[in-house]
Amino acid sequence: MSATTIEPGEHAAPVIELVEVRKTYRTGSIEFEALRGVSLRIDQGEYVAVMGPSGSGKSTLMNILGCLDTRTAGSYRLAGEDVGEMDEVDLAEIRNQRIGFVFQQFNLLPSLPAWRNVELPLSYAGVPRGERRARAIAALERVGLGEKVGNRPGELSGGQQQRVAVARALVSEPALVLADEPTGNLDSTATADVLQLFDELHAQGRTVVLITHEQEVAERAARIIRVRDGLLAEVGVRS
């Protein structure tokens, strides 16, 4: 394994194993290598923050971890399974069952009330309707929005919208939660609420990977990964 591989606890099982992953974007005839050989291991139950300057490749990395985009080279094993071997349908199932996403722009469907947004992953998992509704409402209660289940995104504040998005990410009980600047559009109070939720998820034993620009946000994580020019530059593990 390369020098940038991180191996903390010996006993925990790896959730994520990247080996020499590269990602090249093509814009017309111009090629740009956003990731230039990233090797990374994240274990079950870790809370990891990803930091780095704008344009360094954080989101690119996150999209590959979440199976939203494909690698140009290198291998990716998610929970021991080789993602490279999977077809579209397998990948959809992985995203549905194993991963919960939280995006900077919330990405809620404006025409649906909060609980219908939250139940979406369950509907693709084939959960029966009655159970779906109950679980969606329970998830909204967990993020403190029990009163707002019927509100559409347009009828919620930014912080509340992001909490709906967190509820959607946790409703299917995924092992891995990926968040790309989830607090980027929020003020300090809303940020604190959302980070509190991530702390709780971590406390439940879920693996959390969080991209952020802010040092205080990153401080919450047990481990900080720094990305620079498509490479993992520097790694800090807090005791």
Partner 1 sequence: MTWFDTFRTGWEAIRSHRLRSALTMLGILIGIAAVVLTVGLGLGSQQQVGASISSLGSNLLIVSPGSSTDSGGVRGGFGSASTLTVADAQALTSDTAAPDIAAVAPVKSTSTALAAGDTTWTTSVVGTTADWLDVRTRTLAGGRFLTTADDADQAAVTVLGSETATELFGTTDAVGRTVSIGDLSFEVVGVLTAAGSDSTTNLDDQALVPMSTAANRIIGGSTRTAVSTIYLRATSEDTLSAAYQEAQALLLTRHGISDAESADFSIASQESLLATATSVSRTLTVLLTGIAALSLLVGGIGVMNIMLVSVTERTREIGLRKALGAPPAAIRRQFLVEATVLGLAGGLLGALLGIVAARVLPTLLDTTIVVSPAAVAGSIAVAVAIGIVFGVYPATRAARLAPIDALRSE
Ligand X SMILES: Nc1ncnc2c1ncn2[C@@H]1O[C@H](COP(=O)(O)OP(=O)(O)OP(=O)(O)O)[C@@H](O)[C@H]1O
Site string for partner 1, 122-161 (x = CB under 8 A): -xxxx--x--------------------------------
Which residue in 5, 24, 44, 63 binds partner 1 (CB under 8 A)? 63
Q: Which residues pair with 225 in a beta bridge?
A: 50, 235
Distance CA 33, CA 168 (A): 33
CB 85 to ligand X: min, Å:
25
Interacting partner of 69 out of ligand X, partner 1, Mg ion, none (Cβ under 5 to 8 A depending on kind): partner 1
Q: Which residues contact 88 (CB under 8 A, 6 or more apart)?
A: none
115 Cα distance to chain centroid: 21
Strands 176-180 and 99-102: parallel
* Residue with tokens 């274990």, as numbered in its chain: 43
SS3 165: helix
Distance CA 151, CA 145 (A): 10
Q: Does 44 help bind partner 1 (rule: CB under 8 A)?
A: no
How many other C-beta atoms can be found within 10 angstroms of the C-beta atom of residue 98?
A: 19
Which residue in 60, 96, 183, 191 binds ligand X (CB under 6 A)? 60
Q: Which tokens hold the place of 176?
A: 């891995």
Distance CA 169, CA 56 (A): 26
CB 102 to Mg ion: min, Å:
13
Stretch that binds ligand X, among 27-35, 77-85, 107-115, 121-129 (CB under 6 A): 27-35
| Helix (H) / strand (E) containing 159 | helix 158-170
Q: Does 29 help bind ligand X (rule: CB under 6 A)?
A: no
Q: Does 39 help bind ligand X (rule: CB under 6 A)?
A: no
Which residue in 1, 8, 9, 25 binds ligand X (CB under 6 A)? 25
**Nearest CB to partner 1, comparing residues 67 and 218:** 67
Which residue in 59, 96, 117, 160 binds ligand X (CB under 6 A)? 59
CB 168 to partner 1: min, Å:
7
Dihedral sign computed on CA atoms, order 156, 144, 176, 174: negative
Residues near ligand X, by CB under 6 A: 25, 27, 32, 34, 52, 54-60
Residues near partner 1, by CB under 8 A: 63, 66, 68-70, 88-89, 92-93, 95-97, 101, 103, 107, 109, 111-112, 120-121, 123-126, 129, 168, 172
